[in-house]
Structure 1
Amino acid sequence: MQDKVLIEPSEGPVFAVRRPDGASDVVLVCEHASKMMPRALGTLGLNQATLESHIAWDIGAQAVAERLSDLLDATLISQRFSRLVYDCNRPPDSADAYPERSEVYEIPGNKGLDQNERSRRAEALYVPFHQAVDTLLDERLAQGRNVLLVTVHSFTPIYFGRQREGFLGILHDEDRRLADAMLEAAAAAKLESVNRNYPYGPEDGVTHSLKRHGLTRQIPNVMLEIRNDLVSDEAGQIVWADRIEGLLRQALERLNPQGGRLHA
C-alpha cells in the first residue's frame, strides 16, 4: 500500500516563488520548470536519460523565466516537481495530467492509475500550485493593480521525428490582446520565426492555466513556447529572456499607452 504522503517535508515545497513583491504588472508562471521526481515514486520506471529529456520538464524554461523575473521585477511561481508526476497545465480530470505516454515514451509508473492515486497527485501538486497563483492574482487585483499573466514553456525541436523550425510560439485562448500586442512588437522588431499558437494551440488542451487564471479574471494573458535547443545553455537563455522582455515591455505600451486599467 502506498504511503499517503506523496511529497515528504524534507523534499521542500511544491512550488517556488521568486520576487514575491515584484513591482511589475507581469506575473510569470512556469508549470514545467523541474525534472525532479518525488522520492515516493522513484523513477516511474524510466531510465536517467529519459528523466533528463523534454518529456520530464521544459528544458531551459525555468532559467528564462528567472531571468525575465529579474529583468522585469516580476513575481514568478514555478512548479518544483516533474510534469510526469502531474502536469500542472492540465486539470485533474484530464488523462494528460498523469500521462501514460509522452511522445514516443511509455511511462510505466503512470499506467492504470486508480482514482485514489490520481487524487493523491492532484492534491499534492496541482492544488497548492494553482492556489498560490490564484491568491497572488486576487491580491493584486484587490489592490487595484494591473495584472498580466505570462506562462513560460519550451518545446522540443523534433517531435515524432518531424523537425519544428519555429523559434518562439505566442499562444492564446479566447483573449488575444496580449498575444496580438507581442506579435505586433515581434514584427516591428523583425524577429524571425515568431508564430501565433505554435507549436500548439487551444485545441490541443494547452491553455488550461490561461483559462483558469486569465480568462476568469479578464486579465491579459499569454503562453510562451521557446524551442528548447535555443535555451539549453546560459547564453541562449540570456538572449531569449532579453528578447521576450523587450516584447513584453513593448506589448504593455501598446495595450495600455495611457496607463489605465486593463481589466473589468
Structure 2
Amino acid sequence: MGILSVEEGDPVALENVVARGPVILVCEHASRLMPKALGTLGLAEDVLASHIAWDPGALAVSRLMAESLDATLFYQRFSRLVYDCNRPPESPAAMPEKSEVFDVPGNAGLDRAARDARTEALYLPFREKLSGLVKARIAEGRPPVIVTMHSFTPVYFGAPRAVEIGILHDADARLADAMLAAAADGRYDARRNEPYGPEDGVTHTLKEHGLSNGLANVMIEVRNDLIRDEAGQRVVAGYLTGLLAKGLPAINQ
C-alpha cells in the first residue's frame, strides 16, 4: 500500500493554470494535512497546527498574489513533516526527525524503503509536475519567473525575530536585488537572505527549477504573525505584489 490512497488525491495542486502573467508561485509548505496512512506521526494536534508542520498563511497570501499578478499557483497538499518538497531526498531535512524543539516520532529511524515510499509519493510528483509546467512555458516562448512563497515563526528556539520579510536568493540575485531596492521604503523590516539563506539549504526549489533553466527566481519569507488573518494577508499580499511588479522589469535589463 502506498502512502496516499486514491481518495486522498494528487499530492500537488495547480490553480490558474492558464495564467498569462510570467510568474509561477510555488508554495512547498502550503498544508498541514497528514496522509491517513501515517496518522499524526506521533504529534499532538497543537504541534501539528504549528509552523513545524506547514507555513501558516503562505497559501492564502499566494492565492491573493496569484489573482493580482495573473500567475499560476503550484503547491504541495500535504505536510512538510511527511516530506519537505524544498529539500532533495538525500537531505535529512526532507523527513526531519526533529523540527526546532519538537521530536517527530513518526520520522525517527526511517529505513530506506520508508524514505523511498515518501519520496515517490510526494517529492517526485512535485518535482516532475513543476518541471513539466516550467518546460511547457519555455516551449511556448514564455519563460516563467519562479517565486517560492513561505512564512516563518516570529520566535525561533526562544529568540524573537525582528525581520518581517525575507527576500532570498541563490546564485541569481537579479530579482531579489530589485525587490530589495523597492523595499527600501521602510514599510517593513525587509532583509536579504534572512531568516534563512542558501547555506541553510532553503533554495533547493530555486536551484532545481529556476537556476537550472536560466530563469529569474526569488524566495519570499513572511513572518507569520503578519498574516494570521485575512486582513493581514491582503495587506502583505498587496505589498509583495507591488515589490514584484517593480522588480520584474529589472530582470531583463
TM-score range, shorter chain: over 0.9
Q: Normalised by the size of structure 2, how large is the TM-score? A: 0.98
1:98-145: per-residue Cα shift (whole Å, max 9, x none)? 000000000000000000000000000000011111001101111111
The letter for the 2-side match of 1:200 is Y
1:229 corresponds in structure 2 to 225
* RMSD of aligned alpha carbons: 0.9
Q: What runs of 5+ residues in structure 2 fail to find an aligned partner?
A: none
Tell me by how many angstroms 1:153 deviates: 0.2
What displacement does 1:185 show? 1.3
State the alpha-carbon separation in 2 of the partners of residues 65 and 81 from structure 1. Answer: 16
- Asked if residue 146 in structure 1 is aligned to residue 139 in structure 2, the reply is no
- In 2: Cα distance, 1:176 partner to 1:128 partner: 28
Structure 1 equivalent of residue 10 of structure 2: 13
**Separation (CA, whole Å) in 2 of partners of 1:116 and 1:11:** 21
Q: Is the CA contact 2:150–2:220 (under 8 Å) kept in the aligned structure 1? A: yes
Match of 2:206 in 1: 210
Corresponding residue for residue 181 of structure 2: 184
> What stretches of structure 1 of length at least 5 have no aligned partner?
258-264
Please show how residues 46-85 of structure 1 align to structure 2 within 5 Å. Answer: 46-85=43-82
Q: Aligned residue for 1:254? A: 250
Q: How many residue pairs are counted as aligned between the two chains?
A: 253
Residue in 2 aligned with 1:126?
A: 123
Mapped partners of 1:183, 1:79: distance in 2: 27
User: Following the alignment from structure 1 to structure 2, what is the Cα–Cα distance between the partners of residues 225 and 141?
Assistant: 27
Aligned-pair CA distance for 1:13:
1.3
Secondary structure of 1:55 counterpart:
coil
| Aligned AA (2:224) | N
Distance between the aligned counterparts of 1:250 and 1:197, measured in 2? 19
The one-letter amino acid paired with 1:41 is L
Does the 8 Å CA contact 2:175/2:250 hold for their aligned counterparts? Answer: no
Deviation of the 1:69 alpha carbon: 0.7
Q: In percent, how many aligned pairs have the same letter?
A: 55
Task: List 4+ stretches of structure 1 deviating above 4 A.
Answer: none
1:29 Cα deviation after fit: 0.2
2:142 and 2:50 map into 1 onto residues whose CA distance is 39
Give the distance between the partners of 1:132 and 1:227, measured in 2 at CA. Answer: 28
Specify the alignment match of 1:32 in structure 2: 29
Secondary structure of 1:78's counterpart equals: strand
1:215-256: CA deviation from partner (whole Å, max 9, x where unpaired): 100100001000001011111110111000000011012333
Shift of 1:11: 1.0
Deviations 1:128-181 (A, max 9, x none): 011111001101111111311000000000000000011100000001011001
**AA at the equivalent of 2:61:** V
